[in-house]
Structure 1
Amino acid sequence: MNYKLIALDLDGTLLNKNKTISAENIKWIHAAGKAGMKITLATGRPISDVTSIVEQLEIDCPLVINNGSEVWHAPGDLHSRRELSPHSVAKLFELLETNREELDFWAHTVGGRINRTNVPADVTTAQWLQFAIRSSDPEQLRTVRERIASWNMLEISNSHVTNMECNAPGVTKASGLLEVCSIIGIEMSQVIAIGDSLNDIPMIRAAGLGVAMGNAQEPVKQAADRIAPTNLEDGVAKVIEQVLLS
């Protein structure tokens, strides 16, 4: 297959335990670029977190940000944005208030990060891109997830087993990648998508080659076409090497 785009998750995939990119990963990402392939990032992080990575890897491709809530042509050049509804955010805050001792949260808005220290006086006035709830109790998190899912108002995933992440309905890394493919003129069948968490499953399933990291959550591995070594074993580099040399 003539793959033309590699979509990389960050935490648990491209980044190591020090939140940096290994020399081996950089080497093979640059090799992919020289071979005519484009590289993009598909992350739950906000655009402010990826600017330095875009520069380090010399990425010249649109980016999937906030789990697909935003697609950027490049940092500073927004292509599209899909926000959470004010009503759904208000319901999330009501749920948090009734479970204040058990649950924590963070969120990304157009204006920046939100946590318990800087919640707007009127939460319906902010432009919410992503909302995450965190708990160290798996059963508590499962119960909360089921309750939120029953509203049929949000796309639910996670970036770690201790959290759940909410986006607008239909917003996933796959929907963001479809926009990227449209911009650069390729098909999803020409994409390699690599990730490790539940928020990566949609793009792994939709891509021509879906790859789960060796450290991925089990449902991600089940959804993937291939299992790579872990993020501590330069799994991204190994996948690119295999594709380029096959």
Structure 2
Amino acid sequence: MTYRMIAIDLDGTLLSPDGSVSPKNKAAIRKVLNAGLLVCFATGRNWTESLTILDAVEHYDTAVFVGGAMVIDTRNGQTLHRTAMAPQLARDVCGLIESLGHAALALQDTGEAGVDYLASADVELNEATQNWMQVSTAQIRREPDLPHHPHEHTIRVGIVAAPDEVMRVKKAIKQRFGDRVLCQILYVPAYAVEVMEVFDPAVNKWEGVLHVARRRGVTPDQIVAIGDDVNDIPMIANAGLGVAMGNAKPDVMAAAKRVIKSNQEDGLAEFLDELVRTHLVEPAENPAASERE
């Protein structure tokens, strides 16, 4: 089997433990691009939070953001696909989170809302959230009464907190909303924080990757997907070749066809070099035309 597209997670995969793009990883990305492979970044971050990484790699193409909820042409800043939360569901989730003593963080469609996050103004921010707000490049606006906000541009709702509190809130969310939401916990090493994220249940990275693949005439079996955390499982389990990092969580490794070295060891770079060296890649058809879509 030869592959035409590779979906690459950012935190814990492309990024080193310190949150940087290593020279080896940057060089490997350039190598697969020069070989004609389509590279699609697929991250839980929003576009704003990913800009410094795109700049570091110098690759601007269609990418998957917010865990699959948004697909954006990063070259032109155009949103190609968006799965927002139902406004009443977003209001109800914010209300439950605030009732449990936490500030809700409502991620927005930045292009429409003019801000990245709305954060509860009626609840005191915990230390983890304050630290995250200090280091994040996102634009954050404190907003009163989020349980009654219109939420016409809310993509997800979440919290930043200590691990035991994240688990407590997740349990309450699942008890209250069940299958009406997708609720997951992620660790973001670049910010050294643990976050709980609540989405519309239709959202996952694989759906976002498929949206990109269909635009480029790529079939699922021609996709390589690489990641390390729970939000990477759908794309790793369904891609033609699913790859887990050596630092991945056990459930991610179990879903993968292959496990490579960790991000500390530049495992991504070594794997991409192998793909090109063993001719397991096939140039995309007229990639320049695809970029002009």
Q: Fold match, TM over 0.5? A: yes
Identity %: 31
Structure 1 Cα separation of the partners of residues 259 and 274 of structure 2: 12
Say whether the 8 Å CA contact 1:104–1:135 is kept in structure 2. Answer: no
Query: How well do the aligned residues superpose, as a CA RMSD in angstroms?
Result: 2.0
Structure 2 Cα separation of the partners of residues 243 and 105 of structure 1: 42
CA deviation after TM superposition for structure 1 residue 227, in Å: 1.2
Choose the corresponding residue for 2:143, options 119, 134, 156: 119
Alpha-carbon deviations, 1:189-245, whole Å to 9, x = none?
111111111111111111111111111111111111111211111121021122222
Structure 2 Cα separation of the partners of residues 186 and 31 of structure 1: 20
CA deviation after TM superposition for structure 1 residue 60, in Å: 4.8
Choose the corresponding residue for 1:191, options 223, 229, 245: 223
Residue in 2 aligned with 1:89? 90
**1:155 has 2:182 as partner:** yes
| TM-score relative to the length of structure 1 | 0.90
Residue in 1 aligned with 2:23? 23
Say whether the 8 Å CA contact 2:94–2:157 is kept in structure 1. Answer: no
Structure 2 Cα separation of the partners of residues 97 and 54 of structure 1: 34
Alpha-carbon deviations, 1:171-202, whole Å to 9, x = none?
11001001000111101211111111111111
Structure 1 Cα separation of the partners of residues 12 and 120 of structure 2: 26
Structure 2 Cα separation of the partners of residues 54 and 30 of structure 1: 13
Say whether the 8 Å CA contact 1:38–1:61 is kept in structure 2. Answer: no
In structure 2, the gaps of 5 or more residues are 122-141, 189-193, 279-293
Residue in 2 aligned with 1:109? 108
Residue in 1 aligned with 2:166? 141
Structure 1 Cα separation of the partners of residues 24 and 117 of structure 2: 32
Structure 2 Cα separation of the partners of residues 105 and 235 of structure 1: 35
Alpha-carbon deviations, 1:74-125, whole Å to 9, x = none?
251110111011122122122212211xx45433112312334513544234
Q: Which moved more, 1:120-129 or 1:64-73?
A: 120-129
Bigger relative CO (Cα 8 Å, ≥ 6 apart): 2
Residue in 2 aligned with 1:10? 10
Give aligned pairs, total: 243
CA deviation after TM superposition for structure 1 residue 126, in Å: 4.4
Residue in 2 aligned with 1:129? 155
Choose the corresponding residue for 2:272, options 231, 240, 245: 240
Flag as ranges the 4+ runs of structure 1 deviating above 6 A: none
Alpha-carbon deviations, 1:27-49, whole Å to 9, x = none?
11111111110111101111112
Residue in 2 aligned with 1:42? 42
